[in-house]
Structure 1
Amino acid sequence: MLLLLLLTNAFVLLPWAGAGRIIGGTEAKVHSRPYMAYLEVKNKTKSSRCGGFLIRPDAVLSAAHCMDIEKIVSVTVILGAHNISDEECSQQKISVGQWDIHPEYSREGFINDIVLLKLEQNATINEYVKCISIPKKNKHVRVGTKCNVPGWGWTSKEEDSTDVLREVKLKVQKEKICQRAFSDYEPQSMICVGDEKSKKATYKGDSGGPLVCNEKAHGIVSYGCDRNLFPEVFTRISHFEPWIHEQLKMFSLQDIPGSPSSD
């Protein structure tokens, strides 16, 4: 699971740099999460990793903080991977042509922590690579729902890493739990999630990955507290569905030869 090292007390689930590790989880069944994307973000001096997920053959959703890096040189998405260190024949490596961070994203409090990436070419949909659906506007997942979070992030606070995709089951919590823990928590645009016993969590490197509930991607791994594994905050996708829809329309327009936005 993936995240950049950005903050102090709050953790970003990025190459955990953000929440980026899967702690207390298990190895995912090979190619059982075909929507998963592995992001490699590079600038002139370093590279970082994050998670993401395919929602259309040409579009991947992730966390905005994954792209909150100066002077990015390249972004590559790897689809169809299980062991990210192997050159698996199932893998598709596709460059990102552009990315749209939510216009009201703020690093302070990880407000509106969402980014949509446009692939330079469409992914080939097959048994290893598939899209996952997202909920309609304001369709909330219920408190108590157990959801799945896959990722390649750290597997412990001691920076133990994994090359294979792992996953963890986490429960949607009451909003007041995160409101007490985080001063910038916004119920309308965030989801409070976690394991009360604090034995399971996402961590560094998991940022940008999906919170999958009832076969839909309801959340995006965003942030938590480095001192405690519980609770964690995920971006609420349904709140941003209108914005996502508009960006996807713009992506499609750009693909039309001769259109103003394709020049």
Structure 2
Amino acid sequence: MLSLGALAFSLAGTQPRGRILGGREARPHLRPHMASLQLDGEHICGGFLIAEQWVLSAACCLPCRDGKLFQVLLGAHSLTEPEPHKRLYRVRPGAAREPLLSPALPHCPQLEEKAELNEHVQVLPFQREQRDVAAGTVCEVAGWGTVTHSGRRPDRLQQVERPVLSRDECNHRTRHDHSITPNMMCTDSRKRDTCKGDSGGPLVCNGVAEAVVTAGSRVCGNYKKPGIYTRIAPYAAWIDRVMGALSGQEDTP
């Protein structure tokens, strides 16, 4: 600041980053699609529900488990307080390992069972049309990532609204210097931004998930280094194929 499982976008070989810096606490449960990816009960990344058993997140958020328990928390506003529809779901180990991971490819783990949909757990539609979001469009992003440069982490979901930057502006040599591809997009990062712990969360524009918070080594909140996101539309057909293939395997005797 990606139920049936968790899909993931990444910049390969990087550590999870992204935090809601300079934002505010979200109104409880108004984002019922939000997911917290957790390792042994500790939040590591964000994500969002795109089907009953699938959560879209970032590949950099899929950890080397080393025997640790990898789960997805749905229905939460607070990570620690009791809430009526909060529930942890286990992730299927080794599901849909993609052998061709690159900075532009998704990754697809799957939850072990379907999520219980209710007022606090809902699917968020994602963008399927190949078109850029107009520069200046104000979009929102939410997460449980750290909220200060000292590393303080919130217990309750945070949110921030940021305007989209054109790809040309983001690619200026004083910003990301032509490293932003057509499969990526940027938002203004002046004092309010995503950073560590928010990777995998959705960038929502006009009620639709347009992109996923990506990993990176930039300094959060620095206006010279705009926030970077992986657009979802270029991977929509791939996402559908993966979900269909795994669902088909479950139906096979």
Q: TM-score, normalised by structure 1?
A: 0.81
Deviations 1:182-214 (A, max 9, x none): 35734221111123xx12001111011000011
> Which residue of 159, 176, 191 corresponds with 2:168?
176
> Which residue of 233, 244, 247 corresponds with 1:252?
247
> Which residue of 24, 35, 38 corresponds with 1:37?
35
Aligned to 1:23: 21
Specify whether residues 100 and 182 from structure 1 end up closer, same or farther in structure 2 by C-alpha distance, changes over 3 A only: farther
Aligned to 1:96: 91
Whole-angstrom distance in 1 between the partners of 2:168 and 2:111: 38
Secondary structure of the 1:229 match is coil
Whole-angstrom distance in 2 between the partners of 1:50 and 1:221: 10
Once the 2 structures are TM-superposed, how far is the Cα of residue 216 of structure 1 from its aligned partner? 0.8
Task: Map 1:224-263 onto structure 2 (within 5 A).
Answer: 224=216, 225-226=218-219, 229-230=222-223, 231-258=226-253
- Segments of structure 2 that go 5 or more residues without pairing to the other structure are 2-10
Whole-angstrom distance in 2 between the partners of 1:226 and 1:67: 22
Deviations 1:121-145 (A, max 9, x none): 0001100000001111413322211
Report the RMSD for the aligned CA atoms in angstroms: 2.5
Residue type at the aligned position of 2:32: P
Task: Map 1:42-61 onto structure 2 (within 5 A).
Answer: 49-61=44-56
- The structure with the largest strand share of the pair is 1
Specify whether residues 89 and 205 from structure 1 end up closer, same or farther in structure 2 by C-alpha distance, changes over 3 A only: same
Whole-angstrom distance in 1 between the partners of 2:134 and 2:38: 33
Aligned to 1:216: 208
Once the 2 structures are TM-superposed, how far is the Cα of residue 103 of structure 1 from its aligned partner? 4.7
**Does the alignment pair 1:105 with 2:101?**
yes
Deviations 1:74-125 (A, max 9, x none): 320000000101232220211011454655433xxxx226333311000011
Once the 2 structures are TM-superposed, how far is the Cα of residue 228 of structure 1 from its aligned partner? 5.1
> Which residue of 157, 167, 173 corresponds with 1:165?
157
Aligned to 2:179: 185
> Is the contact made by 2:185 and 2:228 (CA closer than 8 Å) also made in structure 1?
yes
Whole-angstrom distance in 2 between the partners of 1:77 and 1:227: 25
Quote the sequence identity (%).
34
Aligned pair count?
Answer: 237
Whole-angstrom distance in 1 between the partners of 2:168 and 2:88: 41
Residue type at the aligned position of 1:189: N
- Segments of structure 1 that go 5 or more residues without pairing to the other structure are 2-6, 259-263
